[in-house]
Structure 1
């Protein structure tokens, strides 16, 4: 039989064309993003000058001045560090509890049916409703923010992870048992590698919400953090400062989501 062979000289031009198209596509996307941002700023400036009082919508140029001042003085970094510490600690604690529990319940249907109503009851409670209770229990320090972030991260990571466990094909686990594998072998060799994508998706989804939990705690009672900045600006009716704090929060969230996206690319099973 004859096999078709692609000349080596043909592959390089094709790869160059693909890279060129990819580069052009990225450039078009970034150009469109910049255009959208410019139009948004122009519309915002027009709105505050011609339609609505600046008191209600802030001033984009004032927001920029505030951000430059915060960064230049280093003022903002202490607050970012406080909020990120609470978020990351809560995120790690919630994930460390959620993943093993998802494996345990996902591989044991009877136990899952017993626990499921209690998990759904906990998930249905608005986390902002338990924030005052946590502050009474743990005070005004970092702990209630960490607990609130952990609670939010736990439920989101748990549900995506347990779905990943249940998506594992039964034939694969049966084959492992057939060749003498143990329950631990099934978990380590089959379930965990299969559910990596779901875990990472859960992490990507849960981090912004864990950040929300930490900020909610700071909004209610704190002397530090981005939530405290929001509350402080609200207390003085400084709309521009409130918007500046919201922009910082968005930048922090997007940074960590981008890091998780990079992690997804590095994990072979997610490619």
Structure 2
């Protein structure tokens, strides 16, 4: 029978695993002579502290945050809206299905040069690239959630005289909201990917620029320092989505609490 560990025990196990991995990396890199290629945690920490103390990291991270967050909000909102509309209109979904499938199958990174031609190398290009990347993830999850609503429940509510607006607000949205937030959580790192890829292709600021600039100087610790900043930023955005999910879905938090206490 599986036993549950306390939160403190889990945190201690995580810290121990992290320390072990860092020690293996540190001494393994020095012992194998591959510091130039994989660096060491101590050099990465030093590089991270230098760009943080100089204010350079916060400046570039703020630019990437604006781009990713704007793209996330625009793409996520459009994905939810289109998913709701097509989920409720089977005819419209059948008409648009091959077009959406064709665009979805296209790697979004391949669109970056086209966006550069259309929008230039400013912040708008990164926002659009992030929004397009996020849109399809949120759209597909929302569409699936709407289509999975019980047909029997829809029929019963219609027989009771409910309007389309009442169907959406009282049944469809509450039923599909779990799918919506699943799509939003999945799309957080992809919003950052869109923004960072745009910065690597054409930009002189942002975390993507920090990575490409450090790589051009063969500064491996600098590359890893920028990657750590991206990981931290992704975790913060994921935390914001989880908080919003708890606010809009309080019953889920209550269910998780009951599962922990059982």
Segments of structure 2 that go 5 or more residues without pairing to the other structure are 254-262
Whether the aligned pair in 2 keeps the contact of 1:197 and 1:269 (CA below 8 Å) is no
Encode CA deviations 1:100-123: one digit per residue, 9 max, x unaligned.
111111111121111111111111
CA separation in 2, counterparts of 1:258 and 1:100? 23
Encode CA deviations 1:75-108: one digit per residue, 9 max, x unaligned.
2111111001011111111111111111111111
Segments of structure 1 that go 5 or more residues without pairing to the other structure are 1-20
Comparing 159-168 and 175-184, the one that deviates more: 175-184
Change beyond 3 A, Cα 1:96–1:118:
same
1:195 alignment counterpart: 176
Picking from 234, 237, 241, the partner of 1:256 is 237
Whether the aligned pair in 2 keeps the contact of 1:148 and 1:213 (CA below 8 Å) is yes
SS at match of 2:205: coil
Say if 2:116 is the partner of 1:135. Answer: yes
Q: Where does structure 1 differ by over 3 angstroms across 4 or more consecutive aligned residues?
A: none
Aligned positions of 1:235-246 closer than 5 A: 235-246=216-227
Aligned pair count?
A: 250
RMSD: 1.5
- Larger Rg belongs to: 1
Comparing 68-77 and 55-64, the one that deviates more: 68-77
Shift of residue 269 of structure 1?
4.7
CA separation in 1, counterparts of 2:47 and 2:67? 24
Picking from 116, 125, 128, the partner of 1:147 is 128
CA separation in 1, counterparts of 2:33 and 2:176? 50
Say if 2:50 is the partner of 1:69. Answer: yes
Shift of residue 270 of structure 1?
3.3
Comparing 240-249 and 192-201, the one that deviates more: 192-201
CA separation in 2, counterparts of 1:93 and 1:86? 11
CA separation in 2, counterparts of 1:243 and 1:257? 21
Whether the aligned pair in 2 keeps the contact of 1:86 and 1:149 (CA below 8 Å) is yes
CA separation in 2, counterparts of 1:74 and 1:210? 24
CA separation in 2, counterparts of 1:126 and 1:68? 35
CA separation in 1, counterparts of 2:100 and 2:170? 27
